Amino acid sequence: MGSSNNATTTKVITGDAGYVLEDVPHLTDYIHQLPTYPNQLQTNPAYSVVKQYFVNTDDSVAQKIVCHKSSPRGTHFRRAGPRQKVYFESDEVHACIVTCGGLCPGLNTVIREIVCGLSYMYDATRILGIDGGYRGFYSRNTIPLTPKVVNDIHKRGGTILGTSRGGHDTSKIVDSIQDRGINQVYIIGGDGTQKGASAIFEEIRRRGLKVAVAGIPKTIDNDIPVIDKSFGFDTAVEEAQRAINAAHVEAISIENGVGMVKLMGRYSGFIAMYATLASRDVDCCLIPESPFYLEGKGGLFEYIERCLKENGHMVIVIAEGAGQELLSQSLLAMGQDASGNKLLQDVGLWMSHRIRDHFARQKKIAINLKYIGQRLQICVCLFIFPFRFGLVTIDSKLS
């Protein structure tokens, strides 16, 4: 097998029959002859049963499950899970956990499981929480974390560590890690946060430090390839159905009622699609992965008219990233947030106005459109995820 590295953290290993492994960077890439130790799970009486289920170092997961007999083996990723050998002894571990970016259901549960896993499974005793996101590293705010401290936090919303956007100063962060003697860093956040985690690892590698950096993706959008599901996604889908149900009640209660719901997801339509499938009250689901058009035969306007003639009402769900190409360039120039994410225009509100204007011009059907869109500020917790809906009523009574 062959391997290659580029200037970033991408590591590619090739094998027979078109096998490609897009590997993750590792301590052994820059610290050679690093000593290993037996995994603590082998001697832990509560977990010793897992010794027969350790992940082999050569195990990988295929990017594409379906293939043909003549196809190359394709791209694979390193399989996660406990190994028989580890690179840190229990009394050597000094870990820290930081949460960054927006809130997401289950953040406190993830924090709790990291702390309890390190403590009960690997006998680690020194675990710190970094307060307030990346800024907390160099403002020296820390919270000592033990299983007792985190025992009930999964019942609370938000994150007990606090969070923030931006504030990423790689040099200051690594200085703090080095000064505190931290050797395991667990970073929970979205794509902007993980870019920061990659930069932190690169600086750690440049300094030759024995520090492991683990990025834990945080997104309710479920827009991460290969993994089954991202934490917070189920809660988002469950609560999205409440908005859909509200739109359905509005639509069926009035003649030619149209209920439109805009759901989160950025450039991914998983929340919208799964909520649609679970609800069974949705007539049309618009997602970024499936382009659509408004005018002409087979367009959205024609479909709305047909639904109203057949049923007298309809419900439309639109993901926030859907139809962005239909908006004018002037509307799309929204800039970025503090995490570097592109700000999206409110396609739901724009779409509701386009639907209203179309039927006003056609003068065929008098529609009553109710629009339910999520505001940017939402309340989140593990089991309760109430959207603060902004209800915009657009009544088009045409003669």
- Which amino acids are annotated catalytic? 221
Q: Which tokens belong to 314?
A: 């309809």
Distance CA 359, CA 375 (A): 27
Q: What is the dihedral of CA 190, 192, 197, 202, to 10 degrees?
A: 150
User: CB of 186 within 8 A of CB of 217?
Assistant: no
The Cα–Cα gap between 90 and 15 comes to 35
DSSP state letter for 336? B
DSSP code at position 74: E
Alpha-carbon distance 299 to 285, whole Å?
A: 13
- Using CA atoms, how far residue 397 sits from 246, 258, 304, in Å, is 21, 13, 16
Q: What is the full DSSP assignment across 276-304?
A: HHHH---SEEE-TTS---SSSTTSHHHHH
Tell me the angle at which helices 270-279 and 233-252 cross, rounded to the nearest 10 degrees: 60
- Residue 345 corresponds to which tokens in the numbers above? 């225009």
CB 131 within 8 A of CB 143: yes
Contact 208, 30 (CB under 8 A): yes
For the chain, report the end-to-end CA distance as a whole number of angstroms: 73
